[in-house]
Amino acid sequence: MKSKNIKPWEIVKLGLILMVYTAAACVGLAFVYAKTKAVIDKQETANLEAAIKELFPDADGFSDIKGTIPNHDSGVIFENEYRITLKNKLIGAAIQASGGGYGGPIKVLVGVKADGTISRIKIMSHSETPGLGANAEKANYFVDKSAGITFYDQFAGKVVADPFEPKNDIIAITASTITSRAISGIVRVVGRAAAQWLLSTEGAQP
């Protein structure tokens, strides 16, 4: 049986066809990525705005100041920093920071008022154990049921100079000391860094 000889122009033709299909696939993927990224970015912005509104209900504006607030603790990473304003006056700062928990990194958004107190905190993401460390973000899990206080509620109003230590001034999550300590540590580092920055920033309104 004789083998069919492939002519050079046929090889070129096949190569061109493959190039066209590859280019079309790349364009299609780029289009899908661009559309998807736009949707994801929009949702992330909406989530951030809602979270900051939870931390500072009275604020009417915020701006990104990433890299502005010094962090002297290598165990906590400042991922994003925000200047919080009311009628164009600086009233606080919010920092999204991450630190190591029991199951992996825990991301917490911490709000700090110009008077050196924590406004509120919000756990943005975590990989803690369901039913244990994961209870930190649950609105129906109370560390003090009689008073209706959740784990993250207890941080609101605390002075940044407080110890922020579970079993001392922080009520730990049952059987989740590591998670409780990790979140408390993040809040302590962020609180003190943000308060120092606010104290040194002209125009901050307590």
Residues 106, 31 share a domain: no
Q: Note every long-range contact of 202-206, with CB atoms under 8 Å and residues 24 or more positions apart, other chains counting.
A: 203/89, 203/90, 204/90, 204/91, 204/114, 205/86, 205/89, 205/90, 205/91, 205/114, 206/113, 206/114, 206/115
Residues 75, 44 share a domain: no
Taking Cα atoms as reference points, which of 97, 106, 102, 89 lies closest to residue 198? 89
Residues 105, 172 share a domain: yes
How many H-runs (helices) and E-runs (strands) does the chain carry? 2, 7
118 part of a folded domain? yes
- For residue 115, what pLDDT is reported? 95
Q: Please count the structural domains in the chain.
A: 2
**Digits of tens for pLDDT over the chain (206 positions)?**
555 666 777 777 777 888 888 888 888 787 776 667 676 667 877 888 999 999 999 999 999 999 999 999 999 999 999 999 999 999 999 999 999 999 999 999 999 999 999 999 999 999 999 998 999 999 899 999 999 999 999 999 999 999 999 999 999 999 999 999 999 999 999 999 999 999 999 667 77
Residues 128, 180 share a domain: yes
Residues 66, 39 share a domain: no
Residues 157, 143 share a domain: yes
Residues 71, 51 share a domain: no
206 part of a folded domain? no
11 part of a folded domain? yes
Residues 40, 68 share a domain: no
Place of tokens 């009628």: 87
183 part of a folded domain? yes
Residues 106, 42 share a domain: no
205 part of a folded domain? no
Which among 21, 37, 55 is the end of a domain? 55
Which among 34, 55, 76 is the end of a domain? 55
127 part of a folded domain? yes
Which pTM was predicted?
0.81
Q: How far apart are CA 155 and CA 114, in angstroms?
A: 16
122 part of a folded domain? yes
Residues 143, 83 share a domain: yes
- Which residue range forms the structural domain that includes residue 8? 1-55
Q: How far apart are CA 173 and CA 171, in angstroms?
A: 7
Residues 1, 103 share a domain: no
Residues 62, 26 share a domain: no
155 part of a folded domain? yes
